[in-house]
Amino acid sequence: MLGTGGLQTWIQDNIVPLLLFVTAVVLFLVANKGDNAKAMRIVGGVVIALAVLGLAVGGNATTVGSSLWGLVTGS
């Protein structure tokens, strides 16, 4: 049976650190120009993207979704 375990591990080991490095470089460049508001928007976007990636790769999306739905419905 085919699985995505190897792909998940490769993404965690290679893509995520590379994206964090590129984001840090962009933030340094933006901060040097004095546009701190833009830098904070970039940080917010990266945090949201990493949270979504963590849910997708971690396999906890169903549990988190059920918990959030429980907050909405009160059950």
Distances from the Cα of 46 to the Cα of 21, 26, 40, 49, angstroms: 12, 12, 10, 5
The overall pTM is greater than 0.85: no
pLDDT of residue 75: 66
Q: How far apart are CA 73 and CA 13, in angstroms?
A: 38
Please give the tally of structural domains in the chain. 1
Return the residue matching tokens 């040097």. Answer: 32
pLDDT of residue 2: 66
Per-residue DSSP letter, 3? -
Q: Give per-residue pLDDT as tens, 10-53.
A: 877 887 778 778 878 887 888 788 877 887 888 888 777 777 77
Q: What is the extent of the structural domain holding 32?
A: 5-73
